[in-house]
Chain A
């Protein structure tokens, strides 16, 4: 049997086993899921190599599995994060209800993503895309009734995207007579010459998963409502499936852009770039005012995906490279951050930043992971995030001449500092609350995945070349000519070089010195102060008063940006939904319930048909 099938079969059977085993031994599902995903990953990385293909026919449709260097990049994200998240999940989900159900869908989601990566034709792509969608939907509603509305919204938008994609797929089949992705690209299905709607529809389909404005409204709540061990994959890996698709479509649009259609591709570039930019800014602004750490991270995810789309939309070598690099790094740090939020949620009972604070002493390892990933998120040197953003800015400034967009991206990136600070400070720093006194460090199997990911952030910062290598291969697959890269040296177009290892060691030294200084100082004369121990102006705070650092945080900013918050996309979509429901409700009044009315319908229909019979049923 073929290796592609074996990998999918391993995942499938471990999903089924996970579903069943929880009834036999409580809590065993998590371990089975972990083993299944790990086994599949090991097989994938050891036995499968780029260029393998396998063709088969199903339902009269020619299908093909295969692995190319572009999808391989995403396989690294999916399987790497999948293994770590499932390891993390074992302890995180311990003691919760319906574990069989959760892990069944958890593994199926990963199966869907692996299938997407394998598929070389649109039908298998779509099948696995939908498997991924519905299994993740089932996890979104895992947390009960309050999330079922969120789940429906997620499903509606996913269906919107998926069906836009399906329309494009069957159109390609109708026009070009093929379901193969490669053949379709070669036949020019993605250039704008005749059928401009095909690439547009495909992009809409992918934009939903990539949470691009204005199709992002499902994301914040879906991300924050699902169990965190899943959100790590949901935000870290699944959104990248949208990026995968967009990358494929966009690069082939740009590379096929013949002179007569290049205007359209320019417009597309601008539109997508701006959508990405606006997504980044708006999501950042929304992230700022969240008091729940999970929601903050959810919005931050959307913002980061916005950057990636901006990078992809440029279509230049450097821009795409930056986008792909950011995609990988985002998967790493956002995976870590959601795991951190999950650890806090599990240990402290809530991720509300107005209730939890000062966990640094209780959960030092978690804090360390959070710190590193926040640094990466903010794009501060020396970690991976910096490298990605550096390349993104460079490509925007030097190659696309889109200075307004640069300003927008700069703004949102700067504002990201604010929420990063809020997250880090709100949960870990600040004074300790009485309610969180009992909190302990998360269990080992939860800490290890976080620390591994944090370590990866250091590595990607120090040696970005580790990622540049697969990215460069992937881009060559997409049709870019030779991509230059160096293990740890960034070169800009003017030939100036930035050596990451040099920066890293410099900053590292500073960091260590400061750390030692603070620690030494901390051992000397400081004492822990609770929030209630302070008295200001002679007023002694009452026990129930909430004095955490997070109360009314950014209030002035919130006031300033109030008009922005009023016009949310969410509201517009809700209005559309309500209007549609009203229409539907009106339509069904046709069925009046009176039998005679129905009989009248029959006669009227008969008379109409008889009147128009000659035009309707002409030979």
Chain B
């Protein structure tokens, strides 16, 4: 069988619809199917990334309608990197959750599997599609499934978080749709490469308006301040694996949208400065808010928003080194924050009233989980020799090359705040007197393996970052090279196999 990019979308989507049927055959199937699908996605990633390395890109024309008339899927080093990351994270998250929901009945398990598969379909679709309306549709798929997953647990305040997400997400979809409409009236096409080519025809005022609408629409998904009111609630109320998926999958897709719009579609210098400022404000407010949190997952959520702020700053600097750093940050954020959410939700599950202060003594009760959480905490604040250090270093170096000394100062000052709240948790876990004993829910072996994989990645990348820097450099080149993107899509339509 020839592997093409469409498999990325079709296979999970098919699985999503097959799950309710397969559950009739055997009730274990809804557990296993997502894992197989994600594993297949990893295989696709490996095969396609090889092709990308060889040819520079892989594209697929759907239903014989060549670009710009039809919808085409295109995998460049940049989107290929993100899709591989998402596939991998999806697999690890599945591994983590495989036995996690033992207590849940089959009906719920079924819907969880469907929603998760849909969400991954959507996130991958956002990234590999070459059509902007198609991107919008996938974004809506992600939003709706993410809302449903947020409110998955009935006994939590999930519905409240879900409703807030829905309200803000409704704005997001309306604004993006409006932007697409305006764009369409101006350039008469929905193909992103062609839009980019014709962008110079659009009058300046209209261009800025469309950009504003897009920035707000995708900014909501990318957790830009002040559009991120939904995020802490959604992160903290969603089931553990879903929180990890938010950090590892959903946000990545949102940021991809933002970056695609700003870097490829528009050629407006001011947008980069705007990204720096927006990212800085996002980061500062989020990290400040994280400091006094009592709920661990909420704290992690704010920290996640702060990290996305840093990613935006790095993209905003806009040089090749900075984009490379931003991609490295995205990779690290996906791996580390997912690890933190995975281990953190097990820790929270075992604490008495789900607050940080009842985490005392977890170091003894759950030594492996606590160790991994600490590893994640050390890595995310950027201590060497863990992977988080390199991305932070690259961001700072990129900023220093542009002589943005104050920006460096701000990033590092915020890092100190980050250190305070993460280390507070770590020292609480290990060195506080044990609070009263409650029955410990031990995570199953597959969850431990999943977290162990992420921990190993943190260590290995930390000691030898060259393992991925090559890919990231390619991807960074691709983001900045608008001309060849247009060339790939419009001028060489034969699908490369």
Contact = CB atoms under 8 A, between A and B. Distances in A.
B427 A152 contact: yes
A27 to B, nearest CB: 19
A602 interface: yes
A584 B421 CA distance: 12
A598 B167 contact: yes
Contacts of B168: 595, 598-599, 602
A583 B288 CA distance: 8
Given A127-B389, A163-B416, A170-B399, A590 B291 contact: no
Interface stretch (A287-295, A305-313, A604-612): A604-612
A612 to B, nearest CB: 9
A605 B216 contact: yes
Contacts of B204: 614, 618-619
A130 B383 contact: yes
B208 A614 contact: yes
Interface string B283-325: 0010011011000000000100000000000000000000000
Given A145-B432, A197-B405, A587 B205 contact: no
A25 interface: no
Interface stretch (A67-75, A153-161, A320-328, A428-436): A153-161
B415 A159 contact: yes
Interface in B224-268: 226-227, 229-230, 232-233, 267-268
B150 to A, nearest CB: 13
A585 interface: yes
Binding site secondary structure of chain B: helix
A163 B230 CA distance: 32
B215 A609 contact: yes
Contact of B409 (A167, A584, A593, A595): A167
Contact of A609 (B212, B229, B408, B428): B212
Interface string B399-421: 11111010011001101110110
A602 B389 contact: no
A148 interface: yes
A591 interface: yes
Interface in B417-455: 417, 419-420, 423-424, 427-428, 430-433
Given A58-B465, A170-B396, A619 B268 contact: yes
For the complex, would chain A's binding face be called helix, strand, loop or mixed by DSSP majority?
Answer: helix
Contacts of B215: 609
Interface stretch (B86-94, B102-110, B269-277, B343-351): B269-277
Contact of A617 (B270, B378, B427): B270
Nearest to B401: A174
Nearest to B268: A617
Interface in A540-589: 581, 583-585, 587-588
Q: In the complex, which range does the number of interface residues on chain A fall in?
A: 35 or more
A601 B167 CA distance: 12
B419 A602 contact: no
B164 A598 contact: yes
B306 to A, nearest CB: 12
Interface in A137-184: 137, 141-142, 144-145, 147-148, 151-152, 155-156, 159-160, 163-164, 166-167, 170-171, 173-175
Interface residues of B, number: 72
A60 interface: yes
Q: Which one of B268, B427, B466 has the highest number of Cβ atoms from chain A below 10 Å of its Cβ? A: B427
B428 A156 contact: no
Nearest to A153: B420
Contacts of B408: 167, 170-171
Contact of A166 (B390, B412, B466): B412
Contacts of A590: 226, 285, 289
Contacts of B399: 170, 174
Contact of A148 (B216, B233, B431): B431
A126 interface: yes
B298 to A, nearest CB: 10
29 contacts: A59-B390, A59-B465, A59-B469, A60-B466, A123-B393, A130-B383, A144-B431, A155-B419, A155-B420, A163-B413, A166-B393, A167-B396, A170-B396, A173-B397, A588-B292, A588-B302, A595-B168, A609-B215, A610-B209, A610-B212, A613-B212, A614-B204, A614-B205, A616-B273, A617-B207, A617-B208, A617-B268, A619-B207, A619-B268
Given A128-B384, A148-B428, A587-B289, 10 more contacts: A58-B465, A147-B431, A174-B401, A175-B403, A587-B288, A588-B302, A602-B216, A606-B175, A617-B270, A617-B274
When A and B form their complex, which 8 residue pairs have the shortest distance between CB atoms, in order from nearest?
A598-B229, A174-B400, A588-B289, A163-B412, A170-B400, A59-B465, A613-B208, A148-B427
Interface of A: 57-60, 123, 126-128, 130-131, 133-134, 137, 141-142, 144-145, 147-148, 151-152, 155-156, 159-160, 163-164, 166-167, 170-171, 173-175, 197, 581, 583-585, 587-588, 590-591, 593, 595-599, 601-606, 609-610, 613-619
